[in-house]
Structure 1
């Protein structure tokens, strides 16, 4: 199943918060998160660090320029016993609120208050987990979480 990325993937995702405490969320056009609110995310390129990658990915997908506060957590899973799929989730702030979506990848992007995301059935597993557990707790490993059978994970952990 490997792709041009090989069998070990490293991605980044950004929990971007504006002055009103709203979160920047996106709905993808494809994949397991199609039509669900998720955080802007993408793969780390060979020429960049993970923090550079998250700033680039957030800007590419939404036009928003963020400033990194720190790491919220790490998501690590194994897809079909073939691919190690890893993501570092960063916390970012922004003063910028003019969204320009990457139309090739996204259906929608906007700032949404966490209380609205908590009531929205289209919020992703990670968004719901962040809402439930918060973003300032120690980074502990949490097993037994299933983001959905559509992904084909044979192992899945969140480190929050």
Structure 2
């Protein structure tokens, strides 16, 4: 899929009842071989919240629901490509058996924040998220709002 020079991606943080984080090791990209959150690009015709639920399911097999947005990562690659990611807090809907996406991932595991901090193969973003967990706030999903028919939205959501 042609992405152009403005990229929009999503990542999902799922924390189990024991406080362990769902992390993946990708087989490609700048995060190859590193523990990171399940993530991927938003496709045409989907909202960011639909995209993160799809990506987590594709990579891990888990069915999740949105708890809120907990962060945004934004950067520019080689002074050219705007690379943006919305980071969601998700809740696992109870199915705990992981189904790894073999084509994309080396591994999928539940790891404690302490394990992730001690592992040199943990991504910088995950390290920074763990350090700030106690002060992390979330923006909640608000549905059922119509901003006006003149915009012709087929879907519209706010996170506040």
TM-score by length of 1: 0.82
Residue 68 of structure 1 and its aligned partner are, at CA, apart by 1.1
Aligned partners of 1:89 and 1:135: how far apart in 2? 16
- Residues paired across the two proteins, number: 137
Q: Residues 107 and 6 from structure 1, CA distance in 2 versus in 1: closer, same or farther, beyond 3 angstroms?
A: same
Which residue does 1:151 correspond to in 2? none
Which residue does 1:38 correspond to in 2? 36
Which residue does 1:69 correspond to in 2? 67
Residue 138 of structure 1 and its aligned partner are, at CA, apart by 5.3
Residue 17 of structure 1 and its aligned partner are, at CA, apart by 1.1
The root-mean-square deviation of aligned C-alpha atoms, in Å, is 1.4
Which residue does 2:150 correspond to in 1? none
After TM superposition, the structure 1 = structure 2 runs for residues 1-160 of structure 1, keeping only pairs within 5 Å, are: 4-94=2-92, 95-134=94-133, 136-137=135-136
Aligned partners of 1:135 and 1:59: how far apart in 2? 27
**Bigger radius of gyration among the two:** 2
Q: Is the 8 A contact 2:70 2:137 kept in 1?
A: no
TM-score by length of 2: 0.82
- Residues 48-107 of structure 1: per-residue CA shift (max 9 Å, x gap): 100000000000001011111111100000000110000000001112211111111000
Aligned partners of 2:134 and 2:41: how far apart in 1? 22
Aligned partners of 2:25 and 2:59: how far apart in 1? 10
